[in-house]
Structure 1
């Protein structure tokens, strides 16, 4: 079948997808990166099943993928499409055998999915009451330590005052009921996780565009109290009033970020690292996938960063994987990070249509 496909590509002059250029990537000494699968177009959020299945959301023809490594060699040997035709099903979250999928205004669930990968069930609607705008409408989702499903609702614009139904993070019961706002003043979070031990919620937030190359910064934030407000659209990066919506406001009235991640880096998925394979300096650290800028004079982001912590205090913000972009040309764009039970780390790349696996062997 592959030989036939190659022949057809030659006959009809259709370009094959370029293989991920892993030789261009730079990691700290002792770390290695390999392709887990290069058959996942527009790969976005990653979720892990109880039986080792790697689920990946995407914006490719509404598809959701299931990746399995049958022989345990660290490479996916099966890639299945388990749902299609959904609206931007970027977010995936696994709980009690079921896979939850975000689709802009809807959350779906695929029941008992790992036992039905070859004949997946029809997606069931959990809720269809989320806003319908697609501008910042695709969603990273995750279950918290409280058993609730956390769902962001981004601002339907670059900069606006959208009212109480947008620019926030909410949570709901697994059946779609019991909605509750968790935090407000969030332009668009596409990554969040709970710190081990404290169970506090941390999240990335993308700063607004069109204020120049170097402001405002994307943010790493921490939720410390109910219904906390993080500034959007009035104050950006904790210290910069918006030229239009900041009039009459004060930045000190809103929660500042724990860390400024850099202007326009497009910080997306983030996870705490709790494994033991990586050196001790990375245990409890946050890995952040920075998708990369789209309108900056010189590109920023296009990397995976490590945020090392001492409790809630940031002690270092340093590159972990770089090389997805050289000379202002990008071949890859990290979208999410997900530690595996063996302590390795998966990284999704929606531009290359791939998922990578990072291991440590000194």
Structure 2
């Protein structure tokens, strides 16, 4: 079987190499052929060790990067639970893995096991209100999941079925919006064509029970990553531009997704008419919405994550994007994680965050997704080497979070309000209590029920709970609170809890 597999790989390379030479020239063919194999059949690279990772990868100032886990196979998207566990999809084997949080402090997960199996090419996943949702290539499944124990409860069920997954770009990415709806991306069947399935090349949305499925935005060739900006609650999505128009065109895109928006594909690339289909643009389509930001052509932006918990300077209004890297440029490009910083005038500045995956012709990995834990740790998945990397504040860098799971540190914040004097505390408690009444928080957080607010000081400090209110876990809505109001609400809740305990 191994010999047959090797023969198949060789045949594919021999068939692909003339095509690559004709279109892109000889300089990058060695690396490009490896990546083409990876894209076509999932053939990956060697598992790196920690020393290689530290030598080859560079990370932004203020952070350090380590190899967290490897040997995981063809992994893709992640979700980090409030317990610090990583849920990780493995589409080609139909599985979801769980990597238990590193509570021992040895720099690796305490345990790795298969959480779910028998799925149809699972890709995106998210969690809300006790349910884990998984986007399969042909639908969406859900199953009850206990965050604290990391265990599945009961049987899996399908809330959406019958989605198209033929042709290219079969992966589906799923995120739960701040409005409580589930958002689902579905890529195009082809490089460039007029689709017959109206759900392809779109972002759809539906309610948690699968009802009211609708196309939310269209003209999106392959929008793999989605996230909401915590300061404006706008949805942004990455999008991979078409191929076979040369090294430098068209750009890949970051789009600000709005209801009913049309984003060009296959008729417009960014703001330029497509040379093949540009003259066939239907007159009844909405006006093309140009990108909020353009990535270099063929960089293949995938996962995007807005930074919510880091306190390091320069990352207050920023997102991290995994650039999977090109397979069709004469000089390979991408293969890194970049930071996007939103400026006061709304423009976006791109800078390197993690680099070195491709260095001196040696391909170490291809970043896929970025996830952030509540303790400020950042995780990066790599489907080429089957690895997860962890990025944390470097020694001496300011961080308001412990690097161990807050869920498992029950006495970490017993003095959570010690930083406030009596006058400050009283003023914030009064303001926070008024906000608690104004937004009818007690309507959901009824005392002596599963949603009761208890033991907050065992899981949060003042800074982390204040941060949580800027982007709470659904179904809790993101209320329009200023930073001062979020702090006041946090102080009120801690004061109420600590006072009642006396």
TM-score (norm 1): 0.89
In the TM superposition, residue 16 of structure 1 has moved relative to its aligned partner by: 7.5
Q: Is the 8 A contact 2:267 2:273 kept in 1?
A: yes
In the TM superposition, residue 312 of structure 1 has moved relative to its aligned partner by: 6.8
Mapping for residues 182-193 of structure 1, pairs under 5 Å:
182-193=216-227
1:218 and 2:248 correspond: no
* Secondary structure of 1:207's aligned partner: coil
**Structure (1 or 2) with the larger CA radius of gyration:** 2
Q: Give the whole-Å Cα distance in 2 for the aligned partners of 1:241 and 1:16.
A: 41
1:167 and 2:209 correspond: no
Residues 355 and 119 (structure 1), Cα distance of their counterparts in 2 relative to 1, 3 Å cut: same
Residues 92 and 312 (structure 1), Cα distance of their counterparts in 2 relative to 1, 3 Å cut: farther
Deviations 1:86-115 (A, max 9, x none): 222121111122211111112111212446
Give 1:343's match in structure 2, choosing from 373, 376, 381: 376
- Give structure 2 stretches of 5+ with no counterpart: 1-44, 398-502
Q: Give the whole-Å Cα distance in 1 for the aligned partners of 2:277 and 2:67.
A: 45
Name the counterpart of 2:185: 152
Q: Is the 8 A contact 2:229 2:235 kept in 1?
A: yes
Give 1:84's match in structure 2, choosing from 112, 117, 129: 117
Give 1:104's match in structure 2, choosing from 132, 137, 143: 137
Q: Give the whole-Å Cα distance in 1 for the aligned partners of 2:126 and 2:154.
A: 16
Q: Give the whole-Å Cα distance in 2 for the aligned partners of 1:287 and 1:348.
A: 13
TM-score (norm 2): 0.65
Mapping for residues 25-40 of structure 1, pairs under 5 Å:
25-40=57-72
1:180 and 2:214 correspond: yes
1:71 and 2:106 correspond: no
Name the counterpart of 2:49: 19
Mapping for residues 254-269 of structure 1, pairs under 5 Å:
254-269=288-303
Q: Is the 8 A contact 1:338 1:347 kept in 2?
A: yes
1:298 and 2:331 correspond: yes
Give 1:244's match in structure 2, choosing from 273, 276, 279: 276
Q: Is the 8 A contact 2:47 2:387 kept in 1?
A: no
Name which of structure 1's ranges 207-216 and 243-252 shifts more when overlaid on structure 2: 243-252
Q: Give the whole-Å Cα distance in 2 for the aligned partners of 1:97 and 1:311.
A: 37
Mapping for residues 195-234 of structure 1, pairs under 5 Å:
195-223=229-257, 225-234=258-267
Aligned length: 345
Residues 121 and 301 (structure 1), Cα distance of their counterparts in 2 relative to 1, 3 Å cut: farther
Q: Is the 8 A contact 1:140 1:151 kept in 2?
A: yes
Deviations 1:195-222 (A, max 9, x none): 1131110010000011111110100111
In the TM superposition, residue 172 of structure 1 has moved relative to its aligned partner by: 0.7
Name the counterpart of 1:352: 385
Residues 294 and 287 (structure 1), Cα distance of their counterparts in 2 relative to 1, 3 Å cut: same
Deviations 1:220-241 (A, max 9, x none): 1112x42000100000022x21
* Secondary structure of 1:202's aligned partner: strand
Deviations 1:281-336 (A, max 9, x none): 11220100001111211111100000101257234211110100123431201000
Q: Is the 8 A contact 2:159 2:209 kept in 1?
A: yes
In the TM superposition, residue 39 of structure 1 has moved relative to its aligned partner by: 4.0
Q: Give the whole-Å Cα distance in 2 for the aligned partners of 1:171 and 1:311.
A: 30
Residues 131 and 86 (structure 1), Cα distance of their counterparts in 2 relative to 1, 3 Å cut: same
Give 1:276's match in structure 2, choosing from 286, 303, 310: 310
User: Of Structure 1 and Structure 2, which has the larger fraction of its residues in strand?
Assistant: 1
1:318 and 2:348 correspond: no
Q: Is the 8 A contact 1:41 1:60 kept in 2?
A: no
Q: Give the whole-Å Cα distance in 1 for the aligned partners of 2:194 and 2:345.
A: 30
User: Of Structure 1 and Structure 2, which has the larger fraction of its residues in helix?
Assistant: 2
* Secondary structure of 2:132's aligned partner: strand
- Give structure 1 stretches of 5+ with no counterpart: 1-14
In the TM superposition, residue 275 of structure 1 has moved relative to its aligned partner by: 1.4
Q: Give the whole-Å Cα distance in 1 for the aligned partners of 2:152 and 2:266.
A: 45
Residues 134 and 173 (structure 1), Cα distance of their counterparts in 2 relative to 1, 3 Å cut: farther
Q: Is the 8 A contact 1:307 1:314 kept in 2?
A: no
Q: Give the whole-Å Cα distance in 1 for the aligned partners of 2:82 and 2:162.
A: 29
Q: Give the whole-Å Cα distance in 2 for the aligned partners of 1:116 and 1:134.
A: 39
